[in-house]
């Protein structure tokens, strides 16, 4: 029997995996420059953390979580998103009692039992950034700008930023009531009708055409914002404009999580079909209290690494030929030469030169084939005769030029050539 990866999951393999790592590093580079520190949380948490934090009425909690009992009978869940875990960690370790806002970023796999398709996986990789403990439109704008910079640094041009406000505890109830009145008059299935009473905003986020077709006349949250929320939203928008970040107002943008308040935003890409979102987030001022903590107004985002990679592929931004995995490849003929080569390769690595060598006692032809496949620029060849002369042959694999170099100078010479 040959095992296969579970449906809806994927393996990143070289050389594409190196490109994915580069995408991740580019997306988080701006937040690191802005003083956000790295945080890592467990892949599984107490199920109630997500039930409370993400929201019982969401599809994530009601249909998509990987939940299981551990050996002590506790209910645990593989994390479906990162924010609830980050807030839990901040509260548990009292980071919120120090300087505010607490600025952190994370990277890792999330898990949702969804209908598997291109761009929508059951195991997916996100980077996220959160700023906790400050209610300031400049903080919302900062995070949006940092995300936009990450996408721009990758060369992506077909990215649109959608922005909305969901109001707060003052004006949201008024909008909620108006939306419920409208939705109760529609032709909806029983599950969706139940959702109207629990969280009617979730109905707006329903992607089914038969639901979307009935939402044309739905009341808009922007028409129900209180003066404070309106002013807050205008400040976020003006800061984005002043930063040169283009955006579109989307009064129907809701996002799929219950904890969002006020600012909400989404980055979408035109080359990904129906799964167009490549990142998004918003403000979540009440989440800390939902999780048993003190008031801690916060804002954050998560960007999909795998979806961003697909977006780059759609725009032709990924090079066909991946760079070589090493710079130097050692070819040794004979046992004594192999022993010496083993130490030379280790010296090269200590000097900051990426290096590999032929293993398994291959002959010259097989070893040189390995050198070509490695993508190395130089082959370092050492035979018994070279060993006796205390020298090695350095072959430039792009020009086929070969020079003899004293063993004592091999590391310095190759370091100079690859830099």
- How does pLDDT run across 155-165, given as a tens digit for each residue? 999 999 999 99
CATH of the domain at 47: 3.30.930.10
pLDDT at 224 over 70: yes
Which has more confidence, 126 or 255? Answer: 126
100 and 163: one domain?
yes
Mean pLDDT, range 256-276, rounded to an integer: 84
Residues 6+ apart with CB under 8 A from 340: 332, 382, 387, 407
Mean pLDDT, range 151-158, rounded to an integer: 96
Residue 187 lies in a domain: no
Phi first, then psi: what are they for 104, rounded to 5°?
-135, 155
Q: What is the pLDDT of residue 419?
A: 80
230 and 377: one domain?
no
Residue 31 lies in a domain: yes
240 and 362: one domain?
no
Q: What is the pLDDT of residue 121?
A: 81
Among 12-16, 174-178, 336-340, the range of highest mean pLDDT:
336-340
Question: What is the average pLDDT score of the chain?
Answer: 91
Q: How confident is the model at residue 272 (pLDDT cuts 50, 70, 90)?
A: confident
Residue 353 lies in a domain: yes
Whose tokens are 């959160």? That residue is: 130
Among 279, 314, 349, residue at a domain's last position = 314
305 and 341: one domain?
no
Nearest Cα to 311, choosing from 261, 338, 276, 285?
A: 276
Mean pLDDT, range 6-22, rounded to an integer: 88
Residue 304 lies in a domain: yes
Lowest-confidence pick of 44-58, 129-143, 372-386, 401-415: 44-58
Cα torsion angle, 198, 201, 203, 206, sign: negative
Q: What is the pLDDT of residue 217?
A: 86
Residue 158 lies in a domain: yes
Number of independent structural domains in the chain: 2
356 and 276: one domain?
no
Q: What is the pLDDT of residue 257?
A: 62
Among 287, 314, 341, residue at a domain's last position = 314
Among 314, 343, 378, residue at a domain's last position = 314
65 and 133: one domain?
yes
Mean pLDDT, range 253-264, rounded to an integer: 79
Q: What is the pLDDT of residue 58?
A: 67
> 379: domain range?
328-418
Q: How confident is the model at residue 258 (pLDDT cuts 50, 70, 90)?
A: low
Residue 151 lies in a domain: yes
30 and 151: one domain?
yes
Above pLDDT 90, what percent of the chain?
A: 69
| Secondary structure percentages of the chain, helix, strand, coil, to 5 | 40, 20, 40
């Amino acid at each position: 029997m040959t095992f296969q990866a579970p449906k809806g999951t994927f393996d990143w393999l070289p050389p594409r995996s190196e490109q994915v790592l580069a995408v991740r590093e580019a997306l988080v580079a701006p937040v690191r420059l802005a003083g956000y520190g790295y945080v890592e949380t467990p892949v599984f948490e107490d199920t109630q953390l997500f039930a409370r934090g993400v929201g019982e009425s969401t599809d994530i909690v009601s249909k998509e979580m990987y939940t299981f009992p551990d050996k002590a009978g506790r209910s645990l869940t593989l994390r479906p998103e990162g924010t609830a875990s980050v807030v839990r960690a901040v509260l548990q370790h009292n980071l919120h009692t120090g300087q505010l806002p607490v600025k952190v970023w994370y990277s890792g796999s999330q898990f949702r039992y969804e209908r598997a398709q291109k761009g929508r996986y059951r195991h997916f990789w996100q980077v996220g950034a959160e700023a906790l403990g400050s209610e300031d439109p400049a903080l919302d704008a900062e995070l949006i700008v940092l995300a936009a910079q990450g996408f721009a640094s990758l060369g992506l041009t077909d990215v649109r930023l959608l922005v909305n406000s969901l109001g707060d505890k003052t004006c949201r109830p008024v909008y909620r009531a108006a939306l419920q009145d409208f939705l109760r008059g529609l032709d909806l299935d029983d599950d969706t009708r139940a959702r109207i009473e629990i969280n009617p905003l979730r109905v707006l986020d329903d992607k089914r055409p038969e639901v979307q077709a009935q939402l044309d006349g739905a009341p808009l949250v922007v028409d129900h914002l209180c003066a404070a929320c309106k002013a807050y939203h205008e400040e976020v928008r003006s800061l984005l404009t002043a930063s040169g970040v283009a955006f579109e107002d989307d009064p129907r943008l809701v996002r799929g999580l219950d904890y969002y308040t006020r600012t909400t935003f989404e980055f979408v890409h035109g080359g990904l079909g129906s799964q167009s979102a490549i990142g998004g987030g918003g403000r979540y001022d009440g989440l800390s209290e939902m999780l048993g903590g003190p008031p801690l107004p916060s804002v954050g985002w998560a960007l999909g690494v795998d979806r961003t990679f697909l977006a780059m592929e759609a725009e032709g931004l990924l090079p066909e030929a991946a760079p070589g995995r090493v710079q130097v490849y050692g070819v040794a003929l004979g046992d004594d030469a192999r022993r010496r080569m083993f130490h030379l390769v280790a010296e090269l690595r200590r000097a900051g030169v990426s290096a590999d060598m032929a293993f398994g006692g291959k002959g010259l032809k097989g070893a040189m084939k390995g050198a070509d496949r490695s993508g190395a620029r130089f082959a370092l060849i050492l035979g018994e005769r070279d060993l006796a002369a205390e020298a090695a042959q350095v072959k430039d694999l792009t020009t086929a030029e070969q020079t003899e170099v004293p063993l004592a100078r091999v590391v310095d010479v190759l370091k100079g050539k690859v830099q």
